[in-house]
Amino acid sequence: MRNPSRSYIFCTSSRLPTDNAVKFNIWKSIDSVMPANLPPQYIEAEKEYRLAKNTPDKIKALEAMLTIIPKHKGTDKLRGQLRRKISKLKGEVRKKHVSSKKGQIYSIEKEGAAQVVLVGSANVGKSEILSRVTKASPEVADYPFTTRRPLAGMMRFENIQIQLVDTPPVAAGYTEPWVFSIMRNADGLLLVVNLHADPLEELESTFEALKKSKILPVGKMQDDKLNQGLVFKRTLILCNKSDLDGSYEVYEVLKDLYGEDFPVVSMSAKEGINLDEVKRHTFDMLDIIRVCTKVPGKPVDMDSPFVLKRGRTIQDLAERIHKDFVRKFRYAKIWGAEKYKGQMVHKDYVLRDGDIIEFHI
Ligand SMILES: Nc1nc2c(ncn2[C@@H]2O[C@H](COP(=O)(O)OP(=O)(O)OP(=O)(O)O)[C@@H](O)[C@H]2O)c(=O)[nH]1
Ligand SMILES: [Mg+2]
Mutate to test the pocket of ligand 1, among 128, 147, 174, 267 (most ligand atoms within 8 A of CB): 128
CA–CA distance from 59 to each of 47, 110, 210 (Å)? 13, 36, 27
From the CA of 120, give the closest atom in ligand 1.
19
> Residues 237-271: pLDDT tens digits?
999 999 999 999 999 999 999 999 999 999 999 99
Assess whether pLDDT exceeds 60 at residue 312. yes
> 3-state DSSP call for residue 163?
strand
Shared domain check, 331 and 207: no
From the CA of 145, give the closest atom in ligand 1.
24
Assess whether pLDDT exceeds 50 at residue 20. no
Domain range for residue 172?
115-286
Q: Is the CB of 274 under 6 A from ligand 1?
A: no
Kindly indicate the confidence band of residue 167, based on its pLDDT and cuts at 50, 70 and 90.
very high
Q: Is the CB of 268 under 6 A from ligand 1?
A: yes
Percent helix / strand / coil, the chain, rounded to 5: 35, 25, 40
- What is the rounded CA–CA span in Å between residue 279 and residue 290? 15
Kindly indicate the confidence band of residue 72, based on its pLDDT and cuts at 50, 70 and 90.
confident
Distance in Å, CA 263 to ligand 2 centroid: 23
Assess whether pLDDT exceeds 50 at residue 103. yes
Q: Is the CB of 176 under 6 A from ligand 1?
A: no
Shared domain check, 174 and 61: no
Kindly indicate the confidence band of residue 56, based on its pLDDT and cuts at 50, 70 and 90.
confident
Which pLDDT score is estimated for 349? 92
Distance in Å, CA 26 to ligand 2 centroid: 31
For residue 227, the number of C-alpha atoms closer than 13 Å in the C-beta half-sphere is: 11
31-45, 75-89, 127-141, range with greatest mean pLDDT = 127-141
Shared domain check, 211 and 163: yes
Q: Is the CB of 145 under 6 A from ligand 1?
A: yes
- The percentage of the chain sitting over the pLDDT mark of 90, rounded to a whole number, equals 54
Shared domain check, 271 and 293: no
Q: What is the mean pLDDT of residues 34-40?
A: 71
Which pLDDT score is estimated for 9? 30
Shared domain check, 349 and 263: no
Distance in Å, CA 124 to ligand 1 centroid: 5
Whether residue 277 lies inside any domain: the answer is yes
Kindly indicate the confidence band of residue 36, based on its pLDDT and cuts at 50, 70 and 90.
low
Kindly indicate the confidence band of residue 121, based on its pLDDT and cuts at 50, 70 and 90.
very high
Shared domain check, 200 and 146: yes
Which pLDDT score is estimated for 216? 92
Shared domain check, 30 and 94: yes
Whether residue 339 lies inside any domain: the answer is yes
Helices (H), the chain: 18-30, 40-51, 55-68, 76-101, 126-133, 177-185, 199-212, 247-258, 275-286, 314-321, 325-328
Report the range of poorest mean pLDDT among 97-106, 263-272, 275-284, 300-309: 97-106
From the CA of 131, give the closest atom in ligand 1.
15
Shared domain check, 318 and 253: no
If one compares 17 and 302, the residue with the highest pLDDT of the two is: 302
As residues whose CB is below 5 A from the ion ligand 2, the structure lists 126-127, 146-147
> 3-state DSSP call for residue 356?
strand
Shared domain check, 255 and 199: yes
Assess whether pLDDT exceeds 60 at residue 11. no
Q: Name the domain boundary from 54, 75, 101.
A: 101
Assess whether pLDDT exceeds 50 at residue 129. yes
Q: Is the CB of 134 under 6 A from ligand 1?
A: no
Atom 1 of ligand 1, residue of closest alpha carbon? 241
Q: What is the mean pLDDT of residues 276-299?
A: 94
Assess whether pLDDT exceeds 90 at residue 122. yes
Please state the domain count of the chain. 3
Distance in Å, CA 98 to ligand 2 centroid: 16
Which pLDDT score is estimated for 96? 66
Assess whether pLDDT exceeds 50 at residue 131. yes
Shared domain check, 346 and 280: no
**CATH number of the structural domain spanning residue 237:** 3.40.50.300
Atom 6 of ligand 1, residue of closest alpha carbon? 125
Q: Is the CB of 150 under 6 A from ligand 1?
A: no
Which pLDDT score is estimated for 339? 67
Q: Name the domain boundary from 71, 101, 131.
A: 101
Shared domain check, 264 and 148: yes
Q: Name the domain boundary from 252, 286, 320.
A: 286
Distance in Å, CA 45 to ligand 2 centroid: 25
Which pLDDT score is estimated for 8? 30
Which pLDDT score is estimated for 325? 81
Atom 7 of ligand 1, residue of closest alpha carbon? 125
